[in-house]
Amino acid sequence: MQEPLLFISVILRFFHLPVPEGMVGHTILAKLVSPHMTYTWFVMAILIITPKLTLGKLEMVPGNKQNFWEACVGGLEDFMADNMGPKRAAMMFPMMATFTFYILVANLLGLIPGFMSPTSNLNITLAMTLIVWFTHHFLGLRYHGFKYIKHFLGPMWWLTPLMFPIEVISNLARILSLSIRLFGNMMAHEILAAILFMLVGAFFAPVPILVLGVLVAVVQTMVFVLLSVIYCAGAMESAH
Amino acid sequence: MAGDKKELIRLMTDFGTLGLTMAGSVFIGLGFGYYLDHKIFDGRTSPWFTFIFLGLGIIAGFKNLYHMAKRKDF
C-alpha cells in the first residue's frame, strides 16, 4: 500500500531519482530507490545511529540509557533461553535479535504519517522468512546429519514415496505462513488506516486503529521471532 | 503464574499457525501440480499432476493437524 505522502520518496524525487509510482520499479536504480528499500535503509540507520548515540561506553553501574538497552537485550535473551536453552540461545542470539529489532522498528514506523513499514511489502518478509527457513534446515543437518533427512522419509520405508512429498509440502507451507502473516497484518493495517483517513479523517476515526496498530506491531514481531526460535529449536532437538 | 503466561503465549503462537499452514500446504500442492502440468509437461499430462499434488497438499495439511493434536508437551 502506497501512502499518499512518503517523505523519503519526495526527497529522492526532488533529486530527479526515478522513484517508482507503484511498489517496485523496472531498472536497477528504480528498484534501489523504491519505497520499501529506502525505508529499510531508514530503519537500518535508526538501529545503527540510536545505540551509537545513547551508548557511549559501557559502565559497571548502568545509567538510564544503558539500562534501557540492557533490559531490551537481556529480556530477549531470557525469552530465547526459555525456548531453546541458554547455550543455543547464545548461539542464535545475533540473528534473532537482528530480526526482532528490525521488525519491531519497521512495524512501528508505519504508524507515523509520511512513513511506511518496509514489512508491508512481501519481498521483505519473504527474504527474512527464507533466511530463517534455510537456517533451521542447516542447523538440523549440522546437528543430526543424515538422521535429519531420514526423519523426512516417514516411519516405514515403503511409505517414503508418499511421505516425502507430504513432508516437503508441509515444510514449504512454513515459508508461506510465516511470510504472509507478517506481510498481511502490516499491509492490512496500513490500508485500513489509509481508507479510514480518506473517508472520515476529519473525525479522528483512524486514531483507534492506530492504537490497535501498536498492539499489532508488537504482537507480530513477537510471533515472527517466537516461531523462528521454535523452528530452530525443533530442528536442533533430537528427532522424534 | 509467570511461567503459565509464557507457556500460554508460546502455545498460542504455535497453534495460531495451524490455519495458515493448512491453507498454505493445499495451495502449495495445487501450485506445484499446476506447474508440473503446464510448464514442465506442456499440458500433456493435464490435469493429473494437478490433482495428485492437490491431494498430497491436502494430506500434508491434515497431517500437520494430526501432529498438533498428538503433541504431548502440554
Cell of A181: 502473516
Q: What is the distance between the alpha carbons of residues B31 and B54, in angstroms, rounded to a whole number? A: 8
The residue among A147, A132, A121 whose CA lies nearest residue A34 is: A121
Q: Over the stretch B19-59, which tens digit does the pLDDT of each residue have?
A: 889 999 999 999 999 999 888 888 788 788 899 999 999 99
Domains held by chain A: number = 1
Task: DSSP letter for A115, please.
Answer: -
Would B57 be classed as within a structural domain? yes
Q: What was the pLDDT predicted at B42?
A: 84
Angle at which helices A206-236 and B2-35 cross, to 10°: 80
Under the banding of pLDDT at 50, 70 and 90, the label for residue A239 is: low
Q: Does residue A85 register a pLDDT over 80?
A: yes
Residue bearing the bigger pLDDT, A168 or A13: A168
Q: Which domain holds residue B25?
A: 18-69
Helices assigned H by DSSP within A55-159: 64-84, 86-109, 122-144, 146-150
What is the total count of domains within chain B? 1
Asked if residue B9 belongs to a domain, the reply is: no
Can you tell me the distance from the alpha carbon of B64 to that of B58, in angstroms, rounded to the nearest whole number? 10
d(CA B40, CA A26): 28
Question: Nearest by CB to B20, which of A177, A222, A230?
Answer: A177
Q: Inform me whether the C-beta atom of residue A169 falls under 8 Å from chain B C-beta atoms.
A: yes
**Chain A contacts of B11, Cβ < 8 Å?**
none
Q: Is B11 inside a domain boundary?
A: no
A180–B61 CB contact, under 8 Å: no
Residue B41 falls inside a structural domain? yes
Burial string for A45-83 (b: 16+ CB within 10 Å, else e) reads eebeeeeeeebeeeeeeeeeebeeeeeeeeebbebbbeb
Report the C-alpha gap between B63 and A141 in whole angstroms: 23
Contact B57 A180 (CB under 8 A): no
Percent of chain A with pLDDT over 90: 31
pLDDT of residue A1: 43
* Full residue range of the structural domain in which residue A92 is found: 7-236
Distance CA A182, CA B17 (A): 12
Q: Please tell me the total number of residues recorded for chain A in this structure.
A: 240
In this predicted structure, what is the pLDDT of residue A48? 92
Asked whether residue B33 is domain-assigned, the answer is yes
A65 interfacial to chain B (CB closer than 8 Å): no
Mean pLDDT rounded to a whole number for chain A: 85
Q: How confident is the model over A105-153, as pLDDT tens digits?
A: 999 998 888 888 889 889 899 999 999 999 999 999 988 888 888 888 8
- Confidence (pLDDT) at B47: 85
Percent of chain A clearing pLDDT 70 (strictly above): 95
| Residue A122 forms contact with B (CB below 8 Å) | no
Q: Rounded to an integer, what distance in angstroms lies between the CA atom of residue A171 and that of residue B21?
A: 9
pLDDT at A64 over 50: yes
Radius of gyration in angstroms for the set of CA atoms belonging to chain A, rounded to a whole number: 21
Asked if pLDDT for residue B10 goes beyond 90, the answer is: no
AA letter at B11 = L
Residue A220 CA, chain-centre distance (Å), reads 8
CA nearest to A175, candidates B45, B43, B24: B24
The phi, psi pair for A116, rounded to 5°, reads -135, 160
Query: Which pLDDT tens digit goes with each residue over A188-230?
Result: 988 888 888 888 878 888 888 889 989 999 999 999 999 999 8
Mutate one of B17, B27, B34, B72 to test the A interface: name it (highest A CB count within 10 A).
Answer: B17
> Does A1 reside within a domain?
no
